[in-house]
Amino acid sequence: MSLYERTISFVLNYIEEKKLEEGAKLPTEPELVAMAGVSMVTVRRALAELAAQGVIRREQGRGTFLNRSRVSAETTRLGGLRNGLGLDSSSSLETRLLGLERRDASAEESSRLAIAKAASVWEISRLRLLNGRPMIHEVSVIPMILAPDLGAHLESDPQRSLYATLDAVYGLREIREEQSLVCRRANRLDKKLLGLPKGDWVVQISGISFSARHLPIDSFRIVFDAKGFAFRLSTAPASAMAAVELADS
C-alpha cells in the first residue's frame, strides 16, 4: 500500500474508532500530518480522494466534515423496500402518499404490463423519508383490472406496504422482478421531491414485477438520492434460475 492509500485507511480508521457521526468535524490538515506521520501533500491528496468518494465534505474556511453513511438497499430481495433497506434500529422509515390517480395506460405501459391499449391503470406515487429526510421516490403503475378498488385500500392505510396489500387483498404475490438500474443527473422533479442540490445524481431503478403465473403486476420506477445508498446484489448460478423457471411454468 502506498503512503497515500495508508493515509486514506488512517482517516477511515479514525472515523470508526472515534465513532464519529454525520456532520462531525475531522482533525485539521496539520493535525492529520502529525497524527499520521506523513506530509501535507499526502494528507491533502487523501482528503481529496475521500471527498470525491463522498465520505467527507470540505467547507472553505470551516474544515472537513463527515457525510452521512450510505444505507444499504437489497436489490435482489422481492417486494417492498422496508425489509430490503439495511436500517439500524434507531432509523425510522416513513411513507408519504403523494398521488393516487386512475388514468389510461400509455402505449409503453400497455406493452410492459401486457394489457389492452389505453386500459385503465392506477398510478401511485410515494415518497420515502429516512429519519425525516426525503430519500426515495417511488411510482407504481398497476393494471386496474387486477386491483379494482386499490385506491380505497391504500388511502385507508398509507403506511401499509403496497405489496402486502396486493398480496392480502388480491392474491397478487410477486415471484420475480426484472429491474434496470441507471445512474443519471437529477431532473426537476427529483430536485423538488428529494431536495437535491444542482449537479447531483440519482439512481433510478425501473422494472416490472411478475406474479407466480408470470403475469405482470406492477411497472415501477424508484428514484434514490444517489449519494445515500449502496445497492447489494447477490449473484446466483444460472442453473438455479433456470430450475425456478421450469418449476413455475
Task: List residues binding a second copy (CB under 8 A).
Answer: 1, 5, 9, 48-49, 52-54, 70, 72, 75-78, 103-104, 106-108, 175-188, 199, 201, 203, 205, 207, 226-227, 229-238, 240-241, 243-244
CB closer to a second copy out of 111 and 159: 111
To a second copy, the closest distance from the beta carbon of 54 in angstroms equals: 5
Write the DSSP symbol of residue 79.
S
Cβ nearer to a second copy, comparing 158 with 207: 207
212 by DSSP, 3-state: which?
Answer: coil
Largest CA distance in the chain: 70
User: Kindly report the CA angle at 18 between 12 and 21, in degrees rounded to 5?
Assistant: 80
CB burial readout 108-145, b (16+ within 10 A) else e:
ebbebbebeeeeebbbbbbbbebeeebbbbbbbbbbbe
Residue carrying C-alpha cell 413455475: 248
CB of 246 to a second copy, least distance (A): 11
Please, which residues have CB within 8 angstroms of residue 143's CB and are 6 or more apart in sequence?
Answer: 105, 113, 115, 119, 120, 121, 216, 217
Query: At closest approach, how far in Å is the CB of 186 from a second copy?
Result: 7
Q: Cα(183)–Cα(224) distance, rounded to whole angstroms?
A: 10
What is the C-alpha separation between 223 and 30, in angstroms, rounded?
40
Instruction: Report d(CA 66, CA 43) in Å as an integer.
Output: 16
| 44/153 with CB nearer a second copy | 44
**116 or 244: CB nearest a second copy:** 244
Would you say 92 or 179 has its CB closer to a second copy? 179
For residues 169 and 212, which CB has a smaller minimum distance to a second copy in the complex?
212
What's the min distance (Å) between Cβ of 157 and a second copy? Answer: 26
Q: How far is the CB of 137 from a second copy (least distance, A)?
A: 14
